[in-house]
Amino acid sequence: MNPKVMVVCGTRPDAIKVAPVVLRLKESRDIDTMLLVSGQHREMLTQALQDFGIAPDFDLQVMRHGQTLAYITSATLTALDESLEQSQPDMVVAQGDTTTTFVAALAAFYRSIPFAHIEAGLRTETIDSPFPEEFNRRATAQIAKIHFAPTKLALENLLAERINRNDIVLSGNTSIDAIQGVAAGVDSANVGRVGRTILVTTHRRENWGEPQRRICHAIKELIDRFPDINVVLPMHRNEAVRDVLRSELSNVDRVELIEPPGYKEFAGYMRSAYLILSDSGGVQEEAPALGIPVLVLRNETERPEGIDAGNALLVGTDPQRIIMEASLLLTDSKRYAAMSRASNPYGDGLAAQRIVSAIRKWFGLPFDAIPEFRG
């Protein structure tokens, strides 16, 4: 009988980052691959999977507007446990640090099913920042039997937590597989816009409310100072985020608040942006690969590699700092050129191959021995 692997995802970034693995696993005829979505996100998750031509086998449909962390955790845990009982997978796989991922690990643990963690080992100094993601990934690491570390730093973080080196694969991040796969084929999304576009995304819990207002103030000031710029802001579907963005920016000239585009279209927006301002984790990984400078709207990041590579700068949410750094990039061509040199500190596009090879090895199936990511 073929081993059964259940891949679990719940949110937009989960979907984008597991997609390359799901597609490659499905090429393995000697593994039965199932995709289960918690539905922690609804439209944004469906949209992301559609861009990869993937449909889930199971959908727990847990999303509610205004959902709490306790609700997502308990609803997903109960429903996922029933699915595990019915499907009896031999391995559960999930990525990153969302509540769905933590719960997938916990549910697998309760049923003594081996859990494999994609994008393992990202860390900040404090367990409550980013909240609750830092807890989610630390707790998930306690359970995982295989840890797919995207970078050398992530690998070192895991070793420092006494995870056995033999249980870690330095795979690179699957986000780079995804962006390399789609970016080549996407058109610039800048049709009809005149001047330089600043692409902005903000959704992090830490930035809800006042910090997001400060980001909006910085955007308004930049619009006033630079007549040749326009701002495109795809709004996350969370109403708490949208309320602030709409109240601050709906009537501002040259600022477009748009519905969140699908992954391919969003890649087009990234490619055609002059500059990106974002508090997103995934965007911090993709922007360097596309050679677009990114100002990170956070006080702390678990992804320092893009900063070390010179593509990203941590600016927080102080409007003066955002305005200063963005203004420099809009006026200083040398600085801009230095930050827009494409680099790939997060992966080389082979992460999914390495991950599937390791899963095949786990089950004693023939596998391709691919050297680890060197980044």
The pattern of x and - marking residues 127 through 156 that bind ligand UD1 according to CB under 6 A reads: -----xx-----------------------
Q: How far apart are CA 38 and CA 59, in angstroms?
A: 6
97 catalytically annotated: yes
The catalytic position among 203, 254, 271, 298 is 203
The correct pick among 152, 193, 237, 242 for binding ligand UD1 (CB under 6 A) is 237
The interface partner of residue 283, options being ligand UDP, ligand UD1, none and the CB cut-off 5 to 8 Å by kind, is ligand UDP
8, 17, 21, 41: which one contacts ligand UD1 (CB under 6 A)?
A: 41
Instruction: Verify binding: residue 323, ligand UDP, rule CB under 6 A.
Output: no
> Is 301 a residue that touches ligand UDP (CB under 6 A)?
no
285 flagged as catalytic: no
Smallest separation, CB 354 to ligand UD1 (Å): 24
Tell how strand 275-278 and strand 115-118 pair up.
Answer: unpaired
Residue 62: Cβ-neighbour burial (10 angstroms; 0-12, 13-18, 19+): buried
Q: How many residues bind ligand UDP (CB under 6 A)?
A: 17
DSSP bridge pairs for 255: 231
Report the candidate in 98, 111, 116, 121 with the shortest Cα–Cα distance to residue 37: 98
Q: Which of residues 10-29 bind ligand UD1 (CB under 6 A)?
A: 11-13
Q: What is the DSSP secondary structure assignment for residue 210, as one 8-state letter?
A: H
CB of 348 to ligand UDP, least distance (A): 17
Contacting ligand UDP within 7-36 (CB under 6 A):
12-13, 16
The C-alpha R_g of the chain, in whole angstroms, comes to: 20
Rounded CA-CA distance 202/225 in Å is: 22
In the list 3, 10, 281, 345, the residue contacting ligand UDP (rule: CB under 6 A) is 281
Q: Which of 201, 212, 230, 301 binds ligand UDP (CB under 6 A)?
A: 201
Measure Cα distances from 230 to 89, 244, 256, 275 in Å: 49, 19, 8, 11
CA distance 331 to 319: 18
Minimum Å distance from CB 133 to ligand UDP? 8
* Alpha-carbon distances of 39 from 25, 64, 96, 216, 235, rounded to whole Å: 21, 9, 16, 30, 19
- Pick the closer one to ligand UDP by CB: 16 or 105: 16
Q: Is 119 a catalytic residue?
A: yes
- Given a contact cutoff of 8 angstroms between Cβ atoms, the answer to whether 14 and 96 are in contact is yes
| Minimum separation from the CB atom of position 76 to ligand UDP (A) | 17
Catalytic residue among 42, 138, 193, 205: 205
CA angle in degrees (0–180, nearest 5) for 39-42-45: 85
Strand partners, 262: none
By DSSP bridging, strand 146-149 and strand 168-170 are parallel
- At its nearest, how many Å lie between ligand UD1 and the CB of residue 16? 10
Sequence-ordered list of residues with C-beta below 8 angstroms from that of 226, at least 6 positions apart, any chain: 196, 327, 330
Rounded Cα distance, 234 and 10, in Å = 20
Report the SS3 class of residue 122.
coil
CB of 238 or CB of 327, closer to ligand UD1 = 238
Burial (CB count <10 Å: 0-12, 13-18, 19+), residue 65: exposed
323 binds, among ligand UDP, ligand UD1, none (CB under 5 to 8 A by kind): none
Residue (224 or 243) nearer to ligand UD1, CB: 243
Active-site option among 14, 97, 279, 286: 97
Structural contact between residues 211 and 300, judged by C-beta atoms closer than 8 angstroms: no
Contact string 91-120 vs ligand UD1 (x = CB under 6 A): -------xx---------------------
Catalytic residues: 97, 119, 133, 203, 205, 236
Residues lying near ligand UDP in the complex (CB under 6 A) are found at 12-13, 16, 175, 201, 203, 234, 260-263, 266, 280-283, 286
Residues lying near ligand UD1 in the complex (CB under 6 A) are found at 11-13, 40-45, 63, 65-67, 69, 72, 98-99, 132-133, 203, 237-239
